[in-house]
Chains A and B, each alone.
Chain A
Amino acid sequence: MATIEDFDTEIADIHTRIATLQAHRANLTSILLSQPHLPARLQQRPVLHERKRRSAAKFVEAQSKRNLENVYRACAGVTAYKVKDPDPYAVDNGNVLGVRVEVSIGGTFIETYHVLFNRPNAKQRNILKIHKHTIPPCIPLHPLANKWLPITRKDADATMEQSLVKFGRSLRKELVSWHLRQEALEKLRTEAGLGNKATQPEEDKPDTSIGKVLNAFVSDDEESEDEEEMRTARDGAVKITDIEGDMAVRELTITWSNGNTGALRVTKDGEIDKAVFRSRDGLRESAMERKAEGRIEGLVQRLTT
């Protein structure tokens, strides 16, 4: 007997099949529209309806525009575009210049950031001011804007030079290095056998705690459970139980199963320049500290060997 569930799964299957086929068709459409000589052929060949020819030509044009845009975006990393502010009260009639920063890691473009500028000064038309942006606060946008895009005060005599190109370049450097540090931290975690941060919450469902209490200083004679588990393998190698970084991945905290902790400072280009390691009883472990300094990649190997 076919139940309602059976029908439901069947319908769901058909839906997914339709979705795949449509994606396939969209793919084929864009391939067809990207054919090099298509516009010329559309012009030359006779067609039944002139209207259809025109609409076809429009699609070809849209596709070639997209292709061009994507090539620029993929190759240049930082691209500019124009948008219109819909606000009727916007400065400069709503003309907005957008700058787009692409971040690619491991062969894919993972994120796009935008900075939108307007021209607040009616007289000095080349002075740009940041209007809106999608840069996370852990990126020093304000200092960068201050440096490369200073706004000339009305009372000041000399006009300040603005350099949008240098601004874009340094902003892209900040963004890419941030993503690279994040990537490196993820790699460190997998190397230490800690599992992916994103998948972890699903795995440990019996753990009902709301979070990690940071000012709970547990007395020495009682250990947390996971530490006790580790203790069974005490004679074996001491394991890293946690590697944590802050949002900007400028500071790492490492916890070992024997209670040692380490705090490391990371520079923007991924160099560990300062490290402090302490054993359970608060003694500095300078040997470890020396080992830790260097590139962020390979930190786990340096510490475990």
Chain B
Amino acid sequence: MAPKSNSKTTVPDYKNIPHSHRLPVTHREVQRTFGKLSRHSLISLAQQWLAKKNRDFCRPYLLSDRDDDDEEEEDEQYTPAQSCEELQEIYKELAARKGGKREIQDRILEGDWRKGISMYQLATAEIQYLLDHPNSLRWTAKRLARIPNAKSAVLDMEVTNDSEHLPRFQAQTFMSNLSRELTPLMKAHYLLTKIKTLPMTILRVYIHDSPYSTEASLATDNSSPDSAKSVFFIWPNGSPFVYSSIANHLGQVISDDGRHLRDIVQQAIPKAFSRPSARYQLASTNFTTKSLDALLTYRGPGKSNAAAGGWSVFQDHSFSQNALDFITSQRGDAHEKKGADQETSAGATKQGPGRPKRTLEDTETSEAKRRREVAEGRFGTSAKPNDGRGLERFEVRIDDSFPQSRTSADGNNDVDTSDLSARPSNHNRRGRPSLLDRSLEEIEELGDSESWVPDVRAVFQGSHVFAGIRQLVEQGVVDGEKMPGWMTGEAGVTIGAVKEGRIRTKKGTVPGV
């Protein structure tokens, strides 16, 4: 049963908010979250909640619940069902036929769960929305880095038969450690889910800024400004990275309060991972994006982390064929385009239904073709407009000294001047210092050198920055051969400092780990 007696106690306590605590359906968070979801997602969520293993946390309003308190509601729109099985049937029928999304939303909020939406339901609904719209939030990728211990530094780097170099993720231990860190500071509801469709684990923390963990205190929304209340963390499986994001609804500002609370949770995460003799901290990886797919590509569990941009040919099999693949005629064609007739025809058919492709090639001028090949060489198989791995903002600071006599800077100038319009927007947000501001050591380093190094920054913005640069190369706006490597995205960062045409990296680090 719903813990009714609990709602009367108002003593501050040290408990997490349980899954089964309910928010009233009129609550702002509930309304917002459910308003965003599609019909299909709402139905599948309802079916999930009605599954036997979840019923504890998502009790629907059934006929048997009615007789005790609210007998008088006879004009209700949705008659409560007899049992969960009956409800399951109803939702199955709803799923089978077409209809509006509003119908389902009303049925859930005013009918079957009129008594309130549990924290579990709200959390699963928000995660569902996140999976439906993987570009809806802005994510920052961090890395769980081991704090070097002077005593065991050599031991930490040892690779033996049973050594581990990644923090071990054990759900129960992690959750109890995390809540031990956080409960003295705030009350929170946690939902930790291993996603089936993507290789990652999501933690959603609903922050309840109150000393009480009761249902009644949840319902009273005392945070006067409309601020985001939940924070997401994602662990891609088998990698040291953590992505974090504040789940703000569209148009909702992220207040300083929200950011502060997120930082508290964020600080607790490495502590929850740490064990005696293995302490972790979160290190920045200079990577922020909205696209979950891009995150999984650049900071994910796979092969692509340290082979971005033109190096992408190494991670798919376009660079080296299978070791037992002896057929040369298809691949060799790509290099020797001017080969015999027989060979070119083999090349055209390689691209599937090749006819339209060939006619297009014929009309192409040799110059355009050369540019396309240059772009192919620089970007490899990456930076395609529709690959869903678009980075929407890429920011660099040029750290070279002022009079650039090198002719190769021409390629840059094009972009730099076009970007001047973007500068004012940069000035507007004076509030927070940019990550690109020079650190004290860097200023010191610059002071030593003779030449003047102005603070030049370039910001690239768009739906898919590197695909855009690739198109500029193909159109001849940017010289593909003289373009520095960071413009292809091969550095795998969204923010960085460029010196001598290369993104600066820390000494002694291996990229992508």
A residues at B contact (CB < 8 Å):
15, 18-19, 22, 25-27, 29-30, 33-34, 52, 55, 58-59, 62-63, 66-67, 70, 73-74, 85-91, 98, 100, 102, 104, 108-109, 112-114, 116, 130-138, 140-147, 151, 153, 170, 174, 201, 208-216, 218-219, 222-225, 228, 246-248, 250-251, 265, 267-269, 271, 273
Contact = CB atoms under 8 A, between A and B. Distances in A.
Contacts of A268: 161-162
Contacts of A34: 326
Interface in B84-104: none
Interface residue SS majority, chain A:
mixed
Contacts of A211: 193-197, 202
Contacts of B328: 29-30, 33, 59, 62-63, 66
Given A25-B346, A210-B127, A248-B166, 14 more contacts: A15-B353, A34-B326, A58-B336, A87-B485, A89-B500, A90-B502, A114-B319, A130-B511, A141-B510, A147-B157, A210-B197, A216-B120, A223-B52, A246-B237
A224 B319 contact: no
A29 B346 CA distance: 11
Contacts of A137: 166, 238-241, 301, 305, 512-513
Contacts of A132: 306-307, 311, 314, 490, 511
A237 to B, nearest CB: 24
B159 A246 contact: no
A293 to B, nearest CB: 13
A208 B301 contact: no
Among all A-B residue pairs, the 5 with the closest Cβ atoms? A247-B238, A89-B501, A87-B485, A214-B171, A208-B44
Given A87-B485, A132-B307, A201-B196, A102 B323 contact: yes
B353 A100 contact: no
24 contacts: A15-B353, A25-B346, A29-B329, A59-B332, A62-B332, A87-B490, A88-B481, A112-B322, A114-B315, A116-B311, A134-B304, A137-B301, A137-B513, A138-B166, A140-B165, A143-B157, A147-B158, A201-B197, A208-B48, A209-B48, A214-B193, A214-B194, A215-B171, A224-B52
A194 to B, nearest CB: 15
A88 B501 contact: yes
Contacts of A58: 336
A68 to B, nearest CB: 11
Interface in B330-381: 330, 332, 336, 339-340, 346, 349, 353, 377-378
B161 A224 contact: no
Contact of A222 (B55, B326, B485): B55
Contacts of B329: 26, 29-30, 59
B314 A134 contact: yes
Contact of A136 (B158, B191, B238): B238
Given A210-B131, A210-B195, A223-B52, A22 B340 contact: no
A215 B377 CA distance: 47
A109 B322 contact: yes
A182 B302 CA distance: 15
A231 B169 CA distance: 31
Interface residues of B, number: 97
Interface string B232-252: 000001111100000000000
B510 A142 contact: yes
A275 to B, nearest CB: 14
B346 to A, nearest CB: 7
B53 interface: yes
A30 B47 contact: no
Nearest to A271: B161
B430 interface: no
Contacts of A55: 339-340
Given A86-B378, A140-B159, A143-B159, A66 B196 contact: no
B62 interface: no
Contacts of B156: 143
Contact of A174 (B159, B481, B490): B159
A22 B501 CA distance: 45
B52 A222 contact: yes
B290 to A, nearest CB: 20
A251 B164 CA distance: 11
B189 to A, nearest CB: 10
Nearest to A96: B311
A30 B238 contact: no
